Structure 1
């Protein structure tokens, strides 16, 4: 995400957060996080993301940010950032 003329913010999901933090530090990159997030995927149809949000809301899961994309072939990916105390509950909803 562009953050100005000479700055970019990346959202990364490393398998090993400790190693990522160490390597980012060695490279002089500022790293913030980890921030709990879910990747929800499904068929791209009208209302798909609204249903995901409604499921989370009905379960009392606190969502504070989300971003979604469609692949142009009928599927979507939706990264949903949830409050740390809600992670386990959110994961169970989509497992």
Structure 2
């Protein structure tokens, strides 16, 4: 069975780089019933960037607006999931590289129980083409 590929939307926010700040953002999303497909955080000096990929972007946008949270405009990427195997991520990256599509960022991990997953982003001009390339392999 091939990997599954899903186009997703990513949003980012900056918070003070102090204990509990990511929790506050995530707790607000949880209280609004937001399910996240991915979340990552990175330091930015005295601030930290929290990146989230919500399962339902409409619900996410409504919750963020209601809570008064400030997130960046959406950026598109892809969630890839499948049976874990050596080279699972590399195989997908090669497909894009062979078509001249640059991957701007990627996070991959083992999901346990023989599964793996990755989230990756490409330049906005390449989103549609990258989707076609990745989905063609997944069929």
> Which category describes the TM-score, using the shorter chain as reference length?
0.7 to 0.9
Following superposition, the deviation at residue 21 of structure 1 comes to 2.6
Instruction: Give the unaligned 5+ runs of structure 1.
Output: none
Are residues 92 and 71 of structure 1, via their aligned partners in 2, closer, same or farther at CA, if it must alter by over 3 Å? same
Which SS does the other structure have where 2:95 is aligned?
helix
| Partner in structure 2 of residue 12 of structure 1 | 53
| Contact kept? 2:92, 2:134, Cα under 8 Å | no
Which SS does the other structure have where 1:24 is aligned?
helix
Q: Aligned partners of 1:71, 1:13: CA distance in 2, in Å?
A: 18
| Contact kept? 2:54, 2:60, Cα under 8 Å | no
Following superposition, the deviation at residue 39 of structure 1 comes to 0.9
State whether structure 2 residue 63 is matched by structure 1 residue 49.
Answer: no
CA RMSD between the two structures: 2.1
**More off after superposition, 78-87 vs 42-51:** 42-51
After TM superposition, the score normalised by the length of structure 1 is 0.81
Following superposition, the deviation at residue 14 of structure 1 comes to 4.3
In the alignment of these two chains, the number of paired residues is: 93
Instruction: Give the unaligned 5+ runs of structure 2.
Output: 1-14, 23-49
Q: Aligned partners of 1:13, 1:61: CA distance in 2, in Å?
A: 24
| Contact kept? 1:43, 1:74, Cα under 8 Å | yes
